[in-house]
Amino acid sequence: MASTRLYVTEAGETIHGILAEYATPAALYHAAEKVRDAGYASWDTHSPFPIHGMEDAMGFPRTKLPVLVAVVGLSSAGLGFLMQWWMSLDYPLPVQGKPYDSWQAFVPITFELGILLSAFTALIGMLAMNGLPRHHHPLFRKTRFLASSDDRFFICIEARDAKFDPDRTRALLEESGATSIELVEE
């Protein structure tokens, strides 16, 4: 869905997108709904704190991370159990006078392997799905954007979006109630 057009400023720099600032979380929420309804696909919101329902306003589908964590967690617990059972056949250890393949002795390691690999899957999956770590982003060069970690709310629509047109995108953001709009260069 990437646009084949390359937008360049008068100074010759490639345009990353358009950044719009909003006064309140509610204004950002409603602007996100308008951008979603306009059909844009490559855009994001930035705020100093999570805004309840923003993922719905942006039209995000539910994440697949919980399914991935459950599959890896249950698989690793099952494989941990099978590993211990197989080892108990090769090297039997009497535990409290129970049979060598008694499941009660296998519970601690089975549990720990399931939890450990689930935690690693959650962390690595979250980083990978979010495209992190990203040490540089064109928005970091905008001094106004630095307030997004303090008390400002922003939407950035990227130029790689197929629907991106600088004039129409700016008009949409103005119509949505933006207090400030500026181009972001690469």
Query: What pLDDT, in 10s, does the model give residues 150-182?
Result: 999 999 999 999 999 999 999 999 999 999 999
Indicate if the pLDDT at residue 117 is higher than 60: yes
Residue 19 · residue 145 · CB < 8 Å: yes
Phi, psi of 66 (to 5 degrees): -60, -35
CA 23: distance to chain centroid?
24
- Do 160 and 177 fall within a single domain? yes
Residue 5 lies in a domain: no
Can you give the pLDDT at residue 97?
81
Among residues 129, 153, 170, which one ends one of the domains? 129
- Do 28 and 41 fall within a single domain? yes
Among residues 129, 150, 165, which one ends one of the domains? 129
Can you give the pLDDT at residue 4?
54
- Do 74 and 125 fall within a single domain? yes
For residues 104-124, give the mean pLDDT.
96
- Do 25 and 55 fall within a single domain? yes
Q: Which domain holds residue 89?
A: 65-129
Q: What is the DSSP letter of 90?
A: H
Average confidence score pLDDT of the chain:
92
Indicate if the pLDDT at residue 12 is higher than 90: no
Percent of the chain with pLDDT over 70: 98
Residue 2 lies in a domain: no
Residue 115 lies in a domain: yes
Can you give the pLDDT at residue 3?
45
Confidence at 186, pLDDT banded by 50, 70, 90: confident
For residues 56-82, give the mean pLDDT.
96
- Do 41 and 53 fall within a single domain? yes
Can you give the pLDDT at residue 145?
94
Residue 33 lies in a domain: yes
Residue 98 lies in a domain: yes
Which of the pair, 39 or 101, is modelled with greater confidence?
A: 39
Q: Which of 2, 36, 34 is nearest to 17 (CA)?
A: 2
- Do 119 and 143 fall within a single domain? no
Among residues 104, 129, 154, which one ends one of the domains? 129
- Do 101 and 122 fall within a single domain? yes
Residue 10 lies in a domain: no
DSSP β-bridge partners for residue 185: 15
- Do 69 and 105 fall within a single domain? yes
- Do 45 and 76 fall within a single domain? no
Residue 83 · residue 110 · CB < 8 Å: no
Residue 4 lies in a domain: no
Contacts 24+ apart (CB under 8 A), 55-59: 57/29, 57/30, 57/32, 57/33, 58/32
Strand (E) or helix (H) holding 16:
strand 15-22
Task: Count up the domains in the chain and report the number.
Answer: 2
- Do 93 and 121 fall within a single domain? yes
Residue 74 lies in a domain: yes
pTM value is 0.77
